[in-house]
């Protein structure tokens, strides 16, 4: 059931997923306050929303305590870089964003007596021991590797959410999000979907890391946003964690072939070293989301990738409008753009 019209807070709202969530909430008639430090997000993602009188933007760091006038009815925390090159560029800030950010967001939820959503991740499962991944799996994460700033930060955030729930009665909602893609991904953020599409559209080499036998399951952003909104508006006892993702699973190599064929590209595949601790397989068990939220993805990978190709094609025609992550934040050697 949709929330009564309200005053909602979206942290990380200028990012890829956050901007789609803000758009959905504004379109439902809510007033949305977006908080973002623009580390990997962009004003270009939310400029159209700023033209409405139901959207405002505050530039600040969630790792620092926040104070707002007025009262929020719902709080969504998506603030955190999600692309491996972006979150590894400043790993200490990534941990602070997840851990101090969670504490600050949970304190806001207490103060405003508002339910709070946490964008957690399939990285909780690390290099998974079971396949597909079920919420009951505790995960297999290297705590000292280069991905740990993200994985362990998100794991600690889940811990904090449950501790605030048990100790202070905060109403929490946790989604473990699997690889999500779509329009407004930063053209240079280094994730596989944007890297492959941008390279294919320019007939440049497609960079497959390792043998490409590792798998991922790709969810279109509109489906994810629908799951997030359903979770937030579910009864209070639906705390999660709930997996949100599309179980359509591809090897990275097969995904490269799909992108080449959908773009009619002349790109060749080149093989580069596999990043440290790259999970070997990932597919969500979405039984819990189906049962508790009546949710399942509706957009096939082929349909979603076609839409994303159209988006990047338009962006490449107008490079002045391209939304790029601040290049100094990103390890350029990992980007194919
Ligand atoms: P993104 O990098 O596009 O968006 C993250 C947003 O958070 C950006 O706008 C960024 O500027 C902002 N941000 C980062 N650090 C901040 C800070 N300290 N203070 C305030 N704002 C800050 O990434 P995304 O793909 O939109 O991911 C959104 C959320 O979903 C993240 O929390 C991510 O961990 C989670 N998630 C995403 C995926 C995916 O495949 N897209 C998968 C799993 C989890
Ligand atoms: N990958 C790749 N080429 C690229 C970017 C990524 O082969 O140009 C691989 C990466 O090693 C991983 C998968 O694609 O196995 C998904 O990577 P992404 O960075 O999108 O997200 P992850 O699931 O690793 O967080």
> Domain-by-domain residue ranges, the chain?
7-180+220-244, 182-217+247-282+299-328
Ligand 1 midpoint to CA 36 (Å): 10
Known catalytic residue: 150?
Answer: yes
Ligand nearest to the CA of 184: 1
Structure tokens given for 130: 């079971």
| Per-residue confidence (pLDDT) for residue 81, from 0 to 100 | 98
pLDDT of residue 318: 79
List the one residue out of 336, 165, 320, 329 whose CA is nearest residue 241.
Answer: 165
pLDDT at 2: 54
Q: What is the pLDDT of residue 100?
A: 98
Contact partners, residue 158, CB within 8 Å, separation at least 6? 118, 120, 124, 174, 241
Which ligand 1 atom minimizes the distance to the CA of 79?
7
Q: Is the CB of 33 under 6 A from ligand 2?
A: no
336 lines ligand 2 (CB under 6 A): yes
Domain 7-180+220-244 coded CATH 3.30.420.40: no
Backbone angles phi, psi at 101, to 5 degrees: -60, -45
How many Cβ atoms are within 10 Å of 273's Cβ, its own excluded?
8
Q: Is residue 275 within 6 Å of ligand 2 at its C-beta?
A: yes
3-state secondary structure of 322: coil
CA 140 distance to own-chain centroid: 20
List the residue whose alpha carbon is closest to atom 6 of ligand 2. 192
Q: What is the pLDDT of residue 219?
A: 98
CB of 17 within 6 A of ligand 1: the answer is yes
Ligand nearest to the CA of 95: 1
Q: Is 64 exposed, middle or buried (CB count within 10 Å of its CB: 0-12, 13-18, 19+)?
A: exposed
According to CATH, the topology of domain 182-217+247-282+299-328 is UDP-galactose 4-epimerase; domain 1 (3.90.25)
Nearest CA owner, ligand 2 atom 3: 208
Which residue's alpha carbon is nearest to atom 5 within ligand 2?
Answer: 192
For the CA of 329, the nearest ligand: 1
Cα-to-centroid distance, 244 and ligand 2 (Å):
19
Ligand 2 and 208: CB distance under 6 A: yes
Please give the helix or strand (H or E) that residue 56 lies within, else none: strand 55-59
14 lines ligand 1 (CB under 6 A): yes
Given the residues 87, 125, 150, 220, select the one marked as catalytic: 150
Q: Report the distance separating Cα 12 and Cα 78, nearest Å.
A: 5
Ligand 1 atom nearest to CA at 86? 2
Residue 108 region by backbone torsions, left for phi larger than 0, else alpha for psi between -120 and 50, else beta: alpha
Report whether 90 contacts 30 (CB < 8 A). Answer: no
Please report the pLDDT score of residue 76 as a whole number: 98
What residues of the chain score a pLDDT lower than 70? 1-3, 319-337
Q: What is the pLDDT of residue 204?
A: 98
Per-residue pLDDT of 98-112, as tens digits, reads 999 999 999 999 999
Q: Are the C-beta atoms of 99 and 153 separated by less than 8 Å?
A: yes
Both structure tokens of 243: 């997996």
Residue nearest to atom 1 of ligand 1 (CA): 15
């Amino acid at each position: 059931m949709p929330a009564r019209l309200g005053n909602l807070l979206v942290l990380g709202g200028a990012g890829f997923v956050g901007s789609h969530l803000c758009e959905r909430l504004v379109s439902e008639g809510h007033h949305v306050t977006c908080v973002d430090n623009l580390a990997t997000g962009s004003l270009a993602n939310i400029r159209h929303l700023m033209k409405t009188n139901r959207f405002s933007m505050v530039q600040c760091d969630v790792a620092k305590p926040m104070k707002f006038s007025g009262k929020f009815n719902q709080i969504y925390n998506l603030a955190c870089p999600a692309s491996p090159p972006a979150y590894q560029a400043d790993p200490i800030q990534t941990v602070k964003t997840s851990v101090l950010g969670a504490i600050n967001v949970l304190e806001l939820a207490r103060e405003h007596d508002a339910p709070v959503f946490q964008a957690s991740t399939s990285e909780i499962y690390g290099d998974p021991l079971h396949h597909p991944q079920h919420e009951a799996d505790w995960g297999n994460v290297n705590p000292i590797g280069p991905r740990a700033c993200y994985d362990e930060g998100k794991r600690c955030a889940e811990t904090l959410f449950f501790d605030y729930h048990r100790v202070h009665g905060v109403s929490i909602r946790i989604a473990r999000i699997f690889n999500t893609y779509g329009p407004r991904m930063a053209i240079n953020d280094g994730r596989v979907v944007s890297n492959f599409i941008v390279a294919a559209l320019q007939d440049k080499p497609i960079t497959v890391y390792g043998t490409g036998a590792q798998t991922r399951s790709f969810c279109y952003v509109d489906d994810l946003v629908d799951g997030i909104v359903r979770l937030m508006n579910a009864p209070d006892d639906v705390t999660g964690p709930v997996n949100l993702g599309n179980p359509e699973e591809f090897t990275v190599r097969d995904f490269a072939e799909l992108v080449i064929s959908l773009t009619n590209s002349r790109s060749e595949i080149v093989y580069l070293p596999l990043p440290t601790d790259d999970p070997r397989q990932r597919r969500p068990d979405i039984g819990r989301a189906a049962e508790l939220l009546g949710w399942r993805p509706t957009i096939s990978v082929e349909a979603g990738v076609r839409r994303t190709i159209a988006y990047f094609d338009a962006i490449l025609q107008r490079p002045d409008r391209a939304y790029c992550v601040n290049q100094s934040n990103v390890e350029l050697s990992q980007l194919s753009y």
